[in-house]
Amino acid sequence: MNWSHRHNLLAGLGLILLVNAIALAGVAWNRSEPADSRLQLSERELGNSYEYWRKENSAIALRLDYRWPGGRANDYSESGSNQLNASKMRELGFNVPTEFNEDSMRRYRRQLDRDGLLVLEFNGPLYQQQLQRAQERLTKSRAELAALPTNKDLQETYQDARADLQREQTSASRLFIIDAGADRASLRATYPDRQRYAIVRGKISAWAWQHNDSWQLGGSAQLPVADSINLPQRWHQLFDSLPARKGDAEFPHSGGDKLFNAELVFGQRLEPWVVQFQAGQP
């Protein structure tokens, strides 16, 4: 091996070591005290992302399940996921048109995604509102069915309302995106309870469409840190032995989830990790 090759090899090894050192330093800084927030979650907010990989991969990755205000427990439509209004998009740095037409909306949609901060609320007023709406839907549906007990459509609506309330009470995520912004200090001042509100980094996208001759525009957000949260090895055996939620014959797909409680901490870089993990109650 000549001098040049030896130096290239050493330089490559040095670069690898440097990159690893920077990554480890970033993890250490993120996990240094004080943490930005701590949330006491359960399987309702932390789904198992990659269970089908377990045969080839011993890792266990959890997925942070969050919702937008107003959507039903199983609402994955655009109306349930695109919730940043025009005013909020302007605050986040997007150029929001003042005249609504094809050209202005095309330019609005073509704007590049932007980084922003999202506020997550856990088991707070928004979740209570969701429970109340589900209960109101059931009450209204029950009254309508009582007036026309043989109506098939009303019977289906009533059963759907019962299932919605059951999901809200037992399995739907209680974690909601409540706000967005660009300044971390301002958001924390508005939401000071670090046991209820977590601030996370997100990727903001613009959307717009025309419906019934009226333009609708706003934004949606993705949380990259929510896609995969590693469960430390020391809890793998416990995870595999966890009890599962029992199904209810009256409510299809109501069982099967592993039951657990976990403390999720968001650190200096607003990146989450699991610090406590235990079996939940059936």
Under 8 Å CB-to-CB from 206, ≥6 apart: which residues?
Answer: 89, 94, 108, 109, 111, 217, 218, 219
Each residue of 190-203: b (16+ CB within 10 Å) or e? ebeebebbbbbebe
State mean pLDDT over 228-250.
90
pLDDT, averaged across the chain: 86
DSSP H helical ranges for the chain: 3-30, 78-81, 86-91, 102-109, 125-147, 152-170, 184-190, 236-240
pLDDT of 81 strictly over 50: no
For residue 44, give the H/E element and its range.
none
Under 8 Å CB-to-CB from 89, ≥6 apart: which residues?
Answer: 96, 204, 206, 217, 218, 219
Each residue of 64-103: b (16+ CB within 10 Å) or e? bbbbbeebbbeeeeeebbbbbebebbebbebebbeeeeee
pLDDT of 22 strictly over 60: no
248 or 235, which is more confident: 235
Under 8 Å CB-to-CB from 104, ≥6 apart: which residues?
Answer: 97
120 or 52, which is more confident: 120
Model confidence, pTM:
0.83
Please tell me the predicted confidence (pLDDT) of residue 254.
Answer: 75
- Under 8 Å between Cβ of 89 and 220: no
State mean pLDDT over 109-124.
97
Please tell me the predicted confidence (pLDDT) of residue 17.
Answer: 55
Please tell me the predicted confidence (pLDDT) of residue 77.
Answer: 41
State mean pLDDT over 36-60.
78
State mean pLDDT over 184-192.
97
Q: Rounded to the nearest 5°, which phi and psi values hold at 62?
A: -100, 150
